[in-house]
A and B are shown apart, each in its own frame.
Chain A
Amino acid sequence: SQQGEEDPQALSIQEGENATMNCSYKTSINNLQWYRQNSGRGLVHLILIRSNEREKHSGRLRVTLDTSKKSSSLLITASRAADTASYFCATVSGNTGKLIFGQGTTLQVKP
């Protein structure tokens, strides 16, 4: 089962611009994670934000979490063509370690 929605489903921007992707979820969470997937390959873990955190940074990535709205956003600044990929949010509830994924956003960065 999917946890919730991601929007937009697809995003196309020029190199150098910022890209923002949003994720909503339905249940209480332990943490929320963002992953990148290039061309149907394995997933790469980008960043994890715990339920008691509101914002986190990693390089050009900025993630926010609003547990009252059950939503998160991923901002990629100064995008590069190499950022072209699908991005997924995933939530973890309790101690099971199970990831429940959102629908994903396909990002295309044009050189």
Chain B
Amino acid sequence: SAVISQKPSRDICQRGTSLTIQCQVDSQVTMMFWYRQQPGQSLTLIATANQGSEATYESGFVIDKFPISRPNLTFSTLTVSNMSPEDSSIYLCSVNDGSYEQYFGPGTRLTVT
């Protein structure tokens, strides 16, 4: 199994600013993903974070809004840029260690005012 930590756990941000969320895994993993969970909703995949190359974004998500870095096999960041109240969500990173099972971080609760 993999243990995942995220920073910050929560934040309140002003409209128009940006926030970078960090995801740290205790072991090297091949696949890392970023999800968004809007209030009262299910999870939606934002992108796959690829080590050493550009992230692969899902339909409806773009790099300018959600730039992602993955410098190595244990760490990734997601930036939420030029925030608006509609970006208020829980953002979760997850990893797949090569088995079918996927592990999730505790999430970052973002509120944009």
Contacts and interface: CB of A to CB of B under 8 A. Distances in A.
The answer to whether A and B interact is yes
B102 A104 contact: no
A2 B38 CA distance: 13
Interface stretch (B11-19, B39-47, B73-81): B39-47
B7 to A, nearest CB: 14
B94 A99 contact: yes
B101 interface: yes
A54 B10 CA distance: 40
Nearest to A89: B42
Contacts of B107: 40-42
Which bucket holds chain A's interface residue count? 20 to 34
Which bucket holds chain B's interface residue count? 20 to 34
Interface in A77-111: 88, 90, 92, 96-104
Contact of A42 (B33, B59, B106): B106
Interface of A: 1-2, 30-31, 33, 35, 40-45, 48, 50, 88, 90, 92, 96-104
Interface of B: 31, 33, 35, 37, 42-45, 48, 58-60, 90, 92, 94, 96, 100-107, 109
18 contacts: A2-B44, A40-B109, A42-B105, A42-B106, A42-B107, A43-B43, A43-B94, A45-B101, A45-B102, A48-B100, A50-B100, A88-B42, A92-B100, A96-B48, A97-B31, A99-B35, A99-B102, A102-B42
